[in-house]
Amino acid sequence: MIDRADFLARFGGVFEHSPFIAERTLDAGSIAQPLTAEGVHAALTDAFREASAAEQLDVLKAHPDLAGKLAIAGGLTEDSRKEQAGAGLDRLSPDEHARFTALNAAYVEKFGFPFIIAVKGLTKDDILAAFEARVGNTADEEFETAKTQVERIALLRLKAALPGD
C-alpha cells in the first residue's frame, strides 16, 4: 500500500491545485498496485467525476489562462509552464498575445472559468483555432469539454511520471 503522504505529494497536483481529488481517491481505496499511469488516472478521474458540479467548477477555475498574466509573471505551476512552453505559448508575437488575451477575456466572461486544453502536441495555431471554435459552445457543452480536457491533462502528467499498463 502506498503511503498517504507520498501519494498526495506525488499526485495531489495532477488535477491543478486540487489535492482533494487525490485524497478522495485514496479514501475510496481506489488505488491498486503497481501504480501505472492508466490505473492512477482512472481512479483520479472517478473521484473528479464524482465531485459536485461546484467542486468540478473550482477545479476548472484553478487552471491558468493560456499565455495569461500568470505565465508572464512566472507564476505557473512547473507542469503548466512546461506544457505552455511546449506549445510555443511563451514565444507569442505581440499580435498573437493580444488575440489570446481577448479570447481569454471573452471565454471567462461567457463561461466563468479559463479556457482549458491539453496543449501537448498542439501548436499555438491549433490552440487558437480550438479557442475560437469552443467560445461558440453552450455553457453545458463547454463545461463537459473543459472537464474532458482536464482529465486529458491529468493523464499526460501521469504518463510523464509513471509507467503505462
Instruction: Please give the positions annotated as active site.
Output: 63
Nearest to 113 by CA among 104, 121, 122: 104
Residue 102 Cα distances to 28, 32, 138, 148, 154, angstroms: 42, 44, 19, 24, 27
Return the exposure string of 109-142: e unless at least 16 CB atoms fall within 10 Å of the residue's CB, then b: eebebbbbbbbeebebeebbebbeebbebeeeeb
Half-sphere exposure of 137 (CA within 13 A, CB side): 18
The DSSP annotation for 97-127 comes to HHHHHHHHHHHHHHHSS------TT--HHHH
Residue 81 host element (H or E): helix 78-86
